[in-house]
Amino acid sequence: MRPDEAYEVWAPSGGPWSPWVKPILFAAEPNWDPTLFAAISELNEPAWLASPSSSDGYRELRRERSSEDLSTAYVIDLPGAEAIAWGLFFARRGWRPIPLYNAIPGGYTAPVAPAPLDASPANPFATPGFVSVLPHALVDVSNIVRAMVSATGTLHTLGVPANRPPVFLLDADRRVGVGTPVPGRFDNRSISLPTDFPSAVFLRAQGIQRVVLLQATAREPQEDLAHTLLAWQQGGLVIESKSLANDEAPSAIEVTPPSRFRAAWYRFLATIGLRRSPLGGFGGAIPIPSAG
């Protein structure tokens, strides 16, 4: 499958949510054959997903949707490829997954200084000729790409209508990454901006009245995402939050204004220190200082 064909699966022409599907991973990965990687395991139905206003809870894709289902969108902010699995979970139940990954993969490993030759419990890899490696990219997007490729075939087979409620997919590790941003590493840290999402006006025009934020542990949104959720809240949408660390049902939160909220130059301030990629999105090598 070509990248443009895979992109059409995730962002079908004319779909109301398609303009927000980030094309960066499709441009960065040339081969979208879903058989290249193992299929993503199906998630079990969690107890907290049962709708409190409906005895049969959330309905399957081929069945009629309830009014609450049709008015609910999700924002899945989980580390790495976890959001992809949840995106397929909701796709099987009639939601439309919208990937918002805005960092390019970059390299995965890069050699650094040779390890000492004296092996010890603290340094078990110290063998003659061994060169230690560190993750080259600060944010490991490779697992996300593999999961996206694997999920493409499933999403195509499901045939979720393009106008079904959206599930926005984010990488919770996007802002920080792993390790130290030393020269030579690939800095693909990124942030989520309000312009990465539809406005509250657009969401309400599509029948969305409620947005549920799904995170691993926290109930409060990350600071970059809080800008979007607060704008939605002020636009009349109900914002709820759900932590996967417990079995409690989603509950409403009051999103508080993050720093620089509504600043006309917020986009500039927020992206200071991040590296823009010529392909779009974020990603670039940290320069190695010149000698002399």
pLDDT tens digit string along 184-221? 777 878 888 899 999 999 999 999 999 999 999 988 99
pLDDT digits (tens, 9 = 90+) for 241-285: 999 999 899 999 999 887 665 555 455 545 556 666 666 666 667
**Domain segments of the chain: what residues?**
3-45+70-285
Question: For strand 131-135 and strand 284-285, is the pairing parallel, antiparallel, or unpaired?
Answer: unpaired
Q: C-alpha angle with apex 40: 35 to 44, nearest 5 degrees?
A: 150
CB-count exposure of residue 127 (10 Å: 0-12, 13-18, 19+): exposed
Distance CA 10, CA 21 (A): 7
Residue 219, C-beta contacts closer than 8 angstroms, at least 6 positions apart: 241, 242, 243, 253
- Structure-token pair, residue 250: 């989603």
Distance CA 213, CA 192 (A): 14
Question: For strand 284-285 and strand 186-187, is the pairing parallel, antiparallel, or unpaired?
Answer: antiparallel
Nearest CA to 262 among 216, 200, 194, 202?
Answer: 194
Distance CA 127, CA 276 (A): 39
- Structure-token pair, residue 196: 């990465």
Distance CA 178, CA 239 (A): 30
The overall longest dimension of the chain from CA atoms, in Å, is 73
pLDDT for the residue 214 = 97
pLDDT for the residue 273 = 60
- Structure-token pair, residue 77: 């902010």
Q: Judge contact between 181 and 42, C-beta under 8 A.
A: no
pLDDT for the residue 183 = 75
Question: For strand 186-187 and strand 72-78, is the pairing parallel, antiparallel, or unpaired?
Answer: unpaired
pLDDT for the residue 206 = 95
In which element (H, E) is residue 65 found? none
pLDDT for the residue 112 = 39
- Residue 67 CB-half CA count within 13 A: 1
- Name the stretches of the chain with pLDDT < 70: 50-68, 107-135, 179, 181-182, 259-284, 287, 289-292
Which pTM does this prediction carry?
0.80
- Structure-token pair, residue 17: 């949510």
pLDDT for the residue 216 = 94
